[in-house]
């Protein structure tokens, strides 16, 4: 797995470099919170960049490219130590997808969003049992603050698929 970690570091560096491009008009957030697998909590942190929105036809719905790099702390649970999928390793992930908003630019509900991303992770666990994952997020994004509920799972395509569900608070700024 050292090679996978090296790829993860390279991808994170690329993510951070692309958010620094002035023409990209990105919103960068640092997010932190608590993630749960069943009733077992762990700390989680993310860096997320959302780029300029694109209208979907003539509707009030638009989408923005959305990339993130995250980390979910380990849980060393005795009952899973002998399992193929343990809980004793932290997980790093890289994800890319789209964030969707609805409404006129001045509508009160414009700050609400839904995002969907595809992700790759460096370690499999009881919660995330394959190296590919789906990330779904619903939340509210203000100018410098965001609140969100995020779920990471492989959709039942492999292993135990317990998933990670987290509440995150973000602090952000426009680049």
Q: What is the pLDDT of residues 56-102, one digit of tens each?
A: 999 999 999 999 999 999 998 888 888 888 888 899 999 999 999 99
Mean pLDDT, residues 152-163 = 89
Token pair for 97: 């997808």
* 146 dihedral zone (left: phi>0; alpha: psi -120 to 50; beta): beta
Statement: residue 21 has pLDDT above 50:
no
| Residue 139: strand, helix, or coil | strand
The pTM of the full predicted model, rounded to 2 decimals, is 0.84
CA triple 96-97-103, angle to 5 deg: 140
Question: So where are the chain's domains?
Answer: 2-174
> How many whole angstroms separate alpha carbon 151 and alpha carbon 123?
17
**Torsion sign across C-alpha atoms 153, 40, 44, 108:** positive
The backbone region for 102, taken as left when phi is positive above 0, alpha when psi lies in -120 to 50, beta otherwise, is beta
pLDDT (0 to 100) of residue 7: 56
DSSP 26: -
Place of tokens 């692309």: 18
Flag whether pLDDT at 4 surpasses 80.
no
Q: Is the pLDDT of residue 118 over 90?
A: yes
pLDDT at 20: 46
In a 13 Å sphere around the CA of 4, the CA atoms on its Cβ side amount to 12
CATH architecture assignment, domain 2-174: Beta Barrel (2.40)
First-last CA distance in the chain:
34
Tokens of residue 9, six digits: 């570091």
Give the separation between CA 55 and CA 40, rounded to whole angstroms.
Answer: 40
- What confidence tier does 19 reach under pLDDT thresholds 50, 70, 90? very low
CB 14 within 8 A of CB 24: no
């Amino acid at each position: 797995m050292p090679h996978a970690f090296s790829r993860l570091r390279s991808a994170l560096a690329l993510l951070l470099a692309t958010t620094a491009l002035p023409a990209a008009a990105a919103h960068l957030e640092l997010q932190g919170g608590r993630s749960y697998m069943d009733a077992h909590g762990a700390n989680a942190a993310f860096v997320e960049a959302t780029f300029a929105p694109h209208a979907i036809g003539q509707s009030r719905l638009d989408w923005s490219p959305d990339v993130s790099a995250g980390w979910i702390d380990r849980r060393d649970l005795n009952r899973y130590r002998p399992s193929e999928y343990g809980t004793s390793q932290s997980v790093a992930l890289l994800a890319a997808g789209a964030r969707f908003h609805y409404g006129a630019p001045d509508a009160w509900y414009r700050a609400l969003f839904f995002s969907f991303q595809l992700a790759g992770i460096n370690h499999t666990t009881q919660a995330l049992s394959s190296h590919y994952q789906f990330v779904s997020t619903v939340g509210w994004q203000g100018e410098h603050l965001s609140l969100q509920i995020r779920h990471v799972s492989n959709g039942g395509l492999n292993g135990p698929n317990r998933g990670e569900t987290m509440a995150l608070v973000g602090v952000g700024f426009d680049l």
